[in-house]
Amino acid sequence: MSPKINELSDEGLKRRRLLAAGSCYFGGKLIGWGGISPSPASASSPPSGARPEAVSITHDAAFQSWTLRNDVFQAVLRLNRGTGAFQLDEIRNLTVNEVWRLPANSRSFPIAVELGDGRKLSAANSFLVTGQAISELPRGGRALTVELAADDGTLALAVQFDIYPAQPVLRHQATITNRLAETVQVRRANFLAWEFAAEGAQHDAFAVHQWVLVPREANFDPQEVPLAPDGPGMVLSTGSGGAFCAWLAVCDRQQRGLFAGLEFNGRADFSVQQAKDRVTFAAEVQTLNHPLKPGASMELPAAFVGVFHGDWDEAGYRTQRYVEAAVAPALPDNQFPYVAWDSWGYLQDIDEVTLRENARIAAELGMELFIVDLGWAKRMGDWEADPQKFPSGLRALSDYVHELGMKFGLHFAFSEADPESAVLTNRPDWTSSETYNFHGGESICLGHQPVRDWIIEQGVDLVRRYRVDWLLQDGQTLVKECRKTTHTHHPDDSNWANSEEGLDVIVSEIRRRTGVLWENCANGGSMMTFKMARNYVTSITNDASGSLGSRQGAYGATFPFPPRFADRYMPDDVLDLYTTRSFMFGGPWIFMNRLPELTPEHRALAAREIAVYKAIRAGVRDGRVAHLTGRPALGSVDAIQSYDAGSDTALAIVTRDGSGADRHTLRWRDLVAAQRYRVRFETAPSRYVMTGEQLMTLGVDIHLPEERSSEIVYLEPATE
């Protein structure tokens, strides 16, 4: 991330004196403040008459502080001259002028690292700033990189802080470098260690489960807990195979809030606790034992913290807009999220004749993506098409799908291999020490460098050979546990190696070399992190769990993640409006029906509903999500809304799931109170004109005549 920090000796003392005078060293060379504009201690606005920048980073030499600012957010970092602490003084929500300050007697350092011999790099250390620089980021962001040398000289540290236009978020990522002449073991890494003053307030914490089957089933269930002072707080197991999404939010009773997220696909313990005077975050990498050779560097996972004012929907919305602005891959096109068909309705009993017939009908119905699921290859691990199933070749099917105007996708369970596959016959040691029993396969260790390099070449080859637009990643717990001493990773470091040096490298490198679009699936939505959101265009929620399960998954996932990261697989054989509309809110809508077996009436219904989905998908994708009711459940009515402030339009999908009442009063959120809106329905013929205030207080009466029924309601400004 930055040049190596030079050794500190007598020269270091000279640098400390120069730093006090307003200069710095960067990469060993004495320079000015690296392009960072000095400013008075109280300065937070541009000079009179100057045009404000979308993002500014300023340095105050007298107070040795740095201010990162945009039009909605400000963060102040400082090197404390008295203690040598490098700390976060405050973050400020400029839209409502709310501030989260450094607690008394705290240093609020971003990371805490511990070595095998007990030496630490944390808030307790004193630091010397040895360099700094500003760099431009894609999408209008800016980064401040500060290089620090610790007082004990063991590890050097560089921390990059990112800020983006209009986003109330500070992202950081640290790189540590071994300054010793011997290899050290990094045994602990807390990569989100900020503390904020509690201001005497009671706080609540909010998080969302992943898709989990054991020890108990969870389907993106939200969880809210009060943070009792000096109590246990909220502790989340996140990452591949964890129980929770890698996100949490904290709010006091005056709706002053923080949210935070992790860019790490491995397993981490993500927590927030409240003492009487402070709220403390932590994100600890589980089972870490990473060897760091002399002069070698280790880039810790990135994390971010943001501010909001409002309810949990507001915390989610601010997170989602940040993800789209700064983290997630750009949308493939404005038609995304796609309507897709996936072959898993046939399980592995597929062949080119069956798939061609389904492709023809899928195109007629208006689908845009055609995915061949597990069963296309000779075996898992032998990533070549089965010649018995595809006598004309898989490329011929891909070409046919493209001729029909659809994109072509393939299932790719690259972390698994059949015991009889050529790769395991020739290289039996490539398996991980733990096997996760994915469709009879053996798990292979992505943290072993030869495995990683082989998978990359296999993936690049199959994308090019079969003209693949979309890869559906799958597997059981993608970050494997492996204790083998014959692999390139340390036997006690597989969580780190299989995620940071394996999975993430594989996905990003195949994507870089081919441009293929990746869909995240880990036998369901069990790796919901912001590193996932950086490498994939979408993610599955639950694993084909029917209409109610689909709505539950989308309900929970659209708190921490943009709606496009909540795709749904529709397994239902019988289509009706209750079914189709249960799959409309979120990311790609993926049919798994055996299309030739649909009746003409069901085909006609599917075509009409696909057209409806295409008309609303951009509004759902880009809008502000509001969870208008509680979590979907049997015997109740659930409603979810999306509001687009730019066009002042909104839509809501309202679903009755076996409740006794055939009517529901829908009360909207986020509207302009004085605006007059035209209200219309997708199914019912009724039309109304109501003010935003009326819609939010009195609501709209929704008629749901059947026990399993659904309605889509639209609002547009009334121009007459």
CATH number for the domain that contains residue 129: 2.70.98.60
What pLDDT, on a 0 to 100 scale, did the predictor assign at position 4? 28
What pLDDT, on a 0 to 100 scale, did the predictor assign at position 626? 98
Please say if the pLDDT value at position 7 is more than 50: no
Considering the domain boundaries, does residue 610 fall inside one? yes
CA atoms of 484 and 213, how far apart (whole Å): 28
Buried b (16+ CB within 10 A) or exposed e, 122-156: bbebbbbbbbbbbeeeeebbbbbbbbbbbeeebbb
| Final residue of a structural domain among 565, 593, 622 | 622
Share of the chain above pLDDT 70, in %: 93
Residue 52's pLDDT band, with cuts at 50, 70 and 90, is: low
Please say if the pLDDT value at position 213 is more than 90: no
Does residue 390 share a domain with residue 289? no
Q: Which of 39-53, 166-180, 436-450, 661-675 has the lowest mean pLDDT?
A: 39-53
Please say if the pLDDT value at position 389 is more than 50: yes
Residue 155 lies in domain = 10-39+66-327
Considering the domain boundaries, does residue 220 fall inside one? yes
What pLDDT, on a 0 to 100 scale, did the predictor assign at position 34? 36
Q: Which residue has the tokens 């011997």?
A: 182
Considering the domain boundaries, does residue 180 fall inside one? yes
Does residue 682 share a domain with residue 590? no
Considering the domain boundaries, does residue 227 fall inside one? yes
Q: CB–CB of 37/53 below 8 Å? A: no
Mean confidence (pLDDT) of the chain: 92
Q: What is the pTM of this model?
A: 0.92
Considering the domain boundaries, does residue 399 fall inside one? yes
Does residue 251 share a domain with residue 206? yes
- Of 92, 26, 32, which is closest to residue 61 (Cα–Cα)? 32
CA atoms of 257 and 15, how far apart (whole Å): 40
How confident is the model over 506-544, as pLDDT tens digits? 999 999 999 999 999 988 999 999 999 999 999 999 988
Residue 12's pLDDT band, with cuts at 50, 70 and 90, is: very low
The alpha carbon dihedral of 579, 582, 585, 586 has a sign of negative
What pLDDT, on a 0 to 100 scale, did the predictor assign at position 6? 30
| Final residue of a structural domain among 622, 651, 670 | 622
CA atoms of 457 and 535, how far apart (whole Å): 18
Q: What is the mean pLDDT of residues 265-277?
A: 96
Does residue 288 share a domain with residue 178? yes
| Final residue of a structural domain among 589, 622, 655 | 622
Q: CB–CB of 246/262 below 8 Å? A: yes
Q: Which residue has the tokens 């599955």?
A: 540
What pLDDT, on a 0 to 100 scale, did the predictor assign at position 543? 87
Residue 214's pLDDT band, with cuts at 50, 70 and 90, is: confident
Does residue 700 share a domain with residue 641? yes
Considering the domain boundaries, does residue 55 fall inside one? no
Domain count of the fold of the chain: 3
Does residue 656 share a domain with residue 604? no
Does residue 429 share a domain with residue 391? yes
Strand partners, 158: 147, 175
CA atoms of 112 and 124, how far apart (whole Å): 9
Q: What is the mean pLDDT of residues 606-611?
A: 98
Please say if the pLDDT value at position 202 is more than 80: yes
Considering the domain boundaries, does residue 526 fall inside one? yes
Does residue 218 share a domain with residue 111? yes
Q: Which of 50-54, 266-270, 595-599 has the lowest mean pLDDT?
A: 50-54
Q: Which of 152 and 481 is assigned the larger pLDDT?
A: 481
For residue 498, the SS3 value is helix
How confident is the model over 419-432, as pLDDT tens digits? 999 999 999 999 99
Q: What is the mean pLDDT of residues 344-362?
A: 97
Does residue 346 share a domain with residue 318? no
Whole-angstrom Cα Rg for the chain: 27
Buried b (16+ CB within 10 A) or exposed e, 9-23: eeeeeebeeebeeee
How far apart, in Å, are the Cα atoms of 355 and each of 65, 279, 370, 386, 591? 62, 55, 9, 14, 14
Buried b (16+ CB within 10 A) or exposed e, 271-285: bbbbeeebbbbbbbb
Considering the domain boundaries, does residue 58 fall inside one? no
How confident is the model over 571-595, as pLDDT tens digits? 977 899 999 999 999 999 999 999 9
Q: Which residues contact 353 (CB under 8 A, 6 or more apart)?
A: none
Q: CB–CB of 202/226 below 8 Å? A: yes
Indicate left, alpha or beta for 451 from its phi (over 0: left) and psi (-120 to 50: alpha).
alpha
Does residue 395 share a domain with residue 526? yes
Domain with residue 356: its CATH number is 3.20.20.70
Does residue 244 share a domain with residue 105? yes
Residue 596's pLDDT band, with cuts at 50, 70 and 90, is: very high
Does residue 496 share a domain with residue 416? yes
Please say if the pLDDT value at position 669 is more than 90: yes
